[in-house]
Amino acid sequence: TSVERIMNLHNVCFTLQRFMRIVSSRLRPIMLFMDDLQWAGSTSLELIQGLLSDTRGSTSCFFFVGSYRSNEVETSHPIFDLMTHLESCGISSTKLHLCGLSRVDLNRMISESLCIFPRICKPLSDSVHAKTKGNPFFALEFLRSLLDSAVLKYSLRERRWIWDIDKIEAENITDN
């Protein structure tokens, strides 16, 4: 029943709050990082809310970082209720919106990784940017797939990395 669910949530929250008070302090801070909060349900977010709004834990030192994919949540997602509640309780927070790397930065990253001048690997990095929108994780995964399929390879004869730009342009990449 919903009463049992609420009681269980309060019991778990109470236990975690006491635990945090015992193990954390200014000398021993605790940091909790939770990724992919777009998949978190309201119960999980209520538990996080309970931990962050613990007024008795004034001696504890707790730093929470949560991340979610903004393109995968609607405005009705419970994560926004959590943020609103924390703000209304005076709990400070910082919101960061991370964008993909620019073409120039991705070119710099790829050129440094391959030990090639940026002007030489610009066609490669432009293609990778077009396919990944500059997302560093997707760019690295895409480059790994190019390595696995030998579209990107090291040439002993030329003593540098080489690639087939036409095959790269033809490669499919998923959104995830």
Q: What is the mean pLDDT of residues 140-147?
A: 94
Q: d(Cα 69, Cα 100) in Å, to the nearest integer?
A: 13
Task: Report pTM.
Answer: 0.65
Least confident of 22-26, 100-104, 159-163: 22-26
| 101 against 10, higher pLDDT | 101
Task: List the beta bridge partners of residue 30.
Answer: 62
Give the pLDDT confidence score for residue 154 in this predicted structure: 96
- Other Cβ atoms less than 10 A from the Cβ of 135: the count is 17
Find all residues with CB under 8 Å of 129, minimum gap 6, and list them: 100, 101, 103, 106, 107, 139
Give the pLDDT band of residue 113 (cuts 50, 70, 90).
Answer: very high
In this prediction, residues 93-98 reach a mean pLDDT of: 86
135 token code pair: 């997302």
pLDDT higher than 80, residue 94:
yes
**pLDDT of res. 109:** 96
To 10 degrees, what angle do helices 118-132 and 103-114 make?
A: 120
Q: What are the residues whose beta carbons fall under 8 Å from the beta carbon of 103, sequence distance 6 or more?
A: 125, 126, 129, 134
Residue 34 has pLDDT above 80, yes or no: yes
| Rounded mean pLDDT, 18-28 | 86
Q: Which of 46, 43, 49, 54 is nearest to 19 (CA)?
A: 54
- H-only helix segments in the chain: 2-23, 42-52, 78-88, 103-114, 118-132, 136-148, 165-170
Q: Is the per-residue pLDDT at 95 higher than 80?
A: yes
Q: Kindly state the average pLDDT of the residues 122-146.
A: 94
Nearest partner of 139 among 129, 126, 148, judged by Cα? 129
- Residues 47 and 24: their CA atoms lie apart, in Å, by 18
Please report, in angstroms and rounded to a whole number, the separation of the first and last CA atoms in the chain.
37
